[in-house]
Structure 1
Amino acid sequence: MNVEQARFNMIEQQIRPWDVLDQGVLSLLTLLKREDFVPAAHKALAFMDTEIPLGHGQFMLAPRVEARLLQELKVTRHEKVLEIGTGSGYMAALLGHKAQSVISLESQPELAKQAAENLKRAGVLNVKVLAQDGSQGLPAEAPFDVILLSGSVAEVPRALLEQLKPGGRLAAVVGSEPVMRAMLYTRVGNEFKTQVLFDTVVPRLAGFAEASAFSF
């Protein structure tokens, strides 16, 4: 496989047609080697339009979903970011290139260790990976400018939204199969403005409650 051609095709055939037009994001996808974050057994899938199994029931998101979420969050160099669901560390690395600092939470210790090694090897030094449940965020380090849930949840816990600074943004894929939507929440005072970004279906994040079947 010609790796650079495969990377080019991924960007031009999957990512750009999905309305990812931010040149900073596209340049970063060329610079940061996605294949270095893919488990050896699945290297052939590195540039394909699919989720990649990481073990422990976790997956890397499809490239176009990662790229679109990164674009919509509009992370800037002075910002502090929390990611929930480190997985391979690739999304944390993308965020690290954009932000001042990133803390990424991974509930599976083996994945957390591997992600930290991947990030170190890639020279991404402003990302800290913590092996812990992320469903309640990280109140001790709050508030954050940006929070990203790298997987789907039935609903976003209020406790996470409240860890945003004023003007802060949280992105998550919300809902249950077959209907899920990527959502952007922006804090305005003590309220949260919501925006639907796109429809997609992605694997569940571990540790988050399913929505109640009853509403009162």
Structure 2
Amino acid sequence: MSDFTAARLNMVESQVRTQDVTDVRIHDAMRKVARERFLAADKGALAYADIEAEYAPGRWLLKPRDVSKLLQALRPMPGERALAISAPYAAAVLEDLGCAVVQADAGEAIPAGPFDIVICEGAVTRAPEAWTAVLAGGGRLGVVERGGAVGQAVLYVKAADGFGRRDLFDAFPPVLAGFEPAPGFAF
């Protein structure tokens, strides 16, 4: 067993299962998908740490805890169409779960939908309308919204008459480059 294989197993046991992530399909996928492949070779050791690991300038992999809880809230099912926005690791896990995944960077044009699932690994001030616009009926968007020190992982669900939004858990990932809060004036 390689050091990375052991680290992957430990990550699931200590950072995922202990955080009320009970979907064994997610456990199995996270045991298989090599997080280190998304990082530069000299940063591979950070892949399984309890941190957000930067894989490109202004882009991070969510902590294993956060990405697993977000994936569980999205309830991915085999055959669903998913859009992974600046989310290479989440995309690989969704593919392992049987989803058809399209990847895009948060700074690029969003591919045409509809998508059953949209996920982003990184924080934004508020989910852009372009992201909710590509959801299919019953489609779900999982993202961390962060305007200050603490962010909220949220789930948006598209219904016939609009969107439902539910706070899931506190999260602290860095805000994606290009999605920082606009400076404002306050007393």
Q: What's the TM-score bracket when you normalise by the shorter of the two chains?
A: 0.7 to 0.9
Match of 2:146, SS state, is strand
CA distance in 2, matches of 1:52, 1:177: 20
From 119, 142, 146, the equivalent of 1:171 is 142
CA distance in 1, matches of 2:32, 2:8: 10
How much does 1:209 deviate?
Answer: 6.1
- List per-residue Cα deviations over 1:161-206 (Å, max 9, x = no partner): 1211110000110022312100000011131111111001111223
**Hey, what does 2:103 align to over in structure 1?**
104
Contact 2:51 2:62 in 1 (8 A): yes
Aligned pair 1:191/2:162, yes or no? yes
The total of aligned residue pairs comes to 184
CA distance in 1, matches of 2:179, 2:44: 29
Contact 1:81 1:146 in 2 (8 A): yes
Distance 1:182 1:90, change over 3 A: same
**Hey, what does 1:94 align to over in structure 2?**
93
**Hey, what does 1:137 align to over in structure 2?**
110
**Hey, what does 1:154 align to over in structure 2?**
125
Distance 1:201 1:80, change over 3 A: same
Alignment of 1:52-71 (within 5 A): 52-71=53-72
How much does 1:77 deviate?
Answer: 1.3
CA distance in 1, matches of 2:178, 2:81: 23
Segments of structure 2 that go 5 or more residues without pairing to the other structure are: none
CA distance in 2, matches of 1:43, 1:62: 14
CA distance in 1, matches of 2:140, 2:17: 23
Segments of structure 1 that go 5 or more residues without pairing to the other structure are: 108-132
CA distance in 2, matches of 1:2, 1:104: 29
How much does 1:91 deviate?
Answer: 1.8
How much does 1:212 deviate?
Answer: 7.1
CA distance in 1, matches of 2:184, 2:157: 27
Contact 1:170 1:186 in 2 (8 A): yes
CA distance in 1, matches of 2:52, 2:146: 18
Contact 1:177 1:201 in 2 (8 A): no
Amino acid at match of 1:43: G
**Hey, what does 1:201 align to over in structure 2?**
172
CA distance in 2, matches of 1:157, 1:2: 39
RMSD: 2.0
TM-score, structure 2 as length reference: 0.88
CA distance in 1, matches of 2:56, 2:141: 26
Aligned-pair identity in percent equals 34
Amino acid at match of 1:205: L
Match of 2:179, SS state, is coil
Distance 1:209 1:39, change over 3 A: closer
- List per-residue Cα deviations over 1:107-154 (Å, max 9, x = no partner): 6xxxxxxxxxxxxxxxxxxxxxxxxx34x632xx21111111221111
Which is further off, 182-191 or 96-105?
A: 96-105
